[in-house]
Amino acid sequence: MRPRSGGNKLYPLEHSAPGDPFYDFCLWEYNPPTVGDDKIRSVNILFHSFDFSGMGQQAFGLVETIRREIGSFRTVFGIKHIAGRLAWEFYFYDYRRRNREVSMARVIEAIRPYAGCSVQPNESLYYFMFSLDIDQDLLKGAKNFEQIHMYIGVPGSTVSSAICYSVTPKSSNLENFYFFFDSKRLDDIKKRIAWSAQVDTAVIDLNWILWPRLADCEIIVIANKQQNDAVYFSRIRIDQLIFFVKTLHYPEPLVNFLEENRGRLDHMLYDAGFDYRMEGRDLVILKSGIYGVF
């Protein structure tokens, strides 16, 4: 692996290799848009965000520890943009549910050298996914994991869907509902957005939510959360990802990295989304995220 140029060189660039799998943020496999010769992996976006945010060596070590425990290309990362600052979330999938190998207990134990966890997971539950919030205070030992986001399927739903719970040491609380649509089902997607307590489509143009520049992706996800809704565009191209981060004013070092490496990141598809609600007669974007795999 060749070292990247610039910065403080906390990590080397990871180059793609023959046999690399291609997964979206649901860890569903897709066909890449072009060949991956002389390209780089999406984990470089994560590492670059750690680097310019000053996350330190602990953050890079955490990624390597997770890889050693469950393997490469098994973890989805989210880079969140909230009120001008970055935050991170790691997502772990195992669709075998009770027969899972990638469990909360296994991951928590593997990363204990970096952060303790106060949650005692119940591995008898039928969850297929969970996620952990990552920040500097956690990696500096200033706090433990006090919450795990646990996702459970919805049998009988007419579209792929999931329910998210916040699992804490004391309780499990409902957080979000997710609905996954083939992007061609545009009428259903528009209804899912419009039939909401968070937006009035007599005032708000649907294109403010269902961005035309991104709506030709493969999958669109609509989420209903406690205080807002969210939309996710799954399997977008690198130019669309760059449009997304520039439109939502992500930190300049991240935008520059994507633009400078556009030609080495164009063999993958990406995922991006934002939380929104109406405040008065305005649509407000509360936070957003972009996603990749390591």
Amino acid identity at 207: N
Structure tokens at 258: 């994507």
Amino acid identity at 81: H
Residue 136 resides in a domain: yes
Provide CB contacts within 8 A for 164, sequence distance 6+.
149, 150, 151, 174, 175, 176, 177, 178
Res 276: pLDDT: 98
Range of the domain at 76: 43-177+237-273+288-293
Number of domains in the chain: 1
Paired residues of 92 in beta bridges: 75, 130
Residue 159 resides in a domain: yes
Smallest CA-to-CA distance from 73 within 102, 52, 100 is with: 102
Phi first, then psi: give them for residue 29, nearest 5 degrees: -80, 145
The pLDDT of residue 1 is above 70: no
Res 188: pLDDT: 96
Residue 80 resides in a domain: yes
Res 104: pLDDT: 98
Res 9: pLDDT: 57
Residue 160 resides in a domain: yes
Residue 93 resides in a domain: yes
Distance CA 257, CA 114 (A): 28
Q: Residue 145 gets which letter from DSSP?
A: B
pLDDT band (50, 70, 90) for residue 220: very high
Residue 246 CA, chain-centre distance (Å), reads 18
Distance CA 256, CA 274 (A): 21
Res 258: pLDDT: 98
Distance CA 156, CA 293 (A): 29
Compute the average pLDDT of residues 232-243. 98
Residue 123 resides in a domain: yes
Which pTM was predicted? 0.94
Residue 280 resides in a domain: no
- Residue % of the chain over a pLDDT of 70: 97
**Predicted confidence (pLDDT) per residue in 130-163, tens digit:** 999 999 888 887 788 999 999 999 998 888 999 9
Cα four-point dihedral sign 55, 57, 58, 59: positive
Residue 138 resides in a domain: yes
Distance CA 127, CA 145 (A): 19
Compute the average pLDDT of residues 111-129. 95
**Predicted confidence (pLDDT) per residue in 7-50, tens digit:** 345 678 999 999 999 999 999 999 999 987 889 999 999 999 99
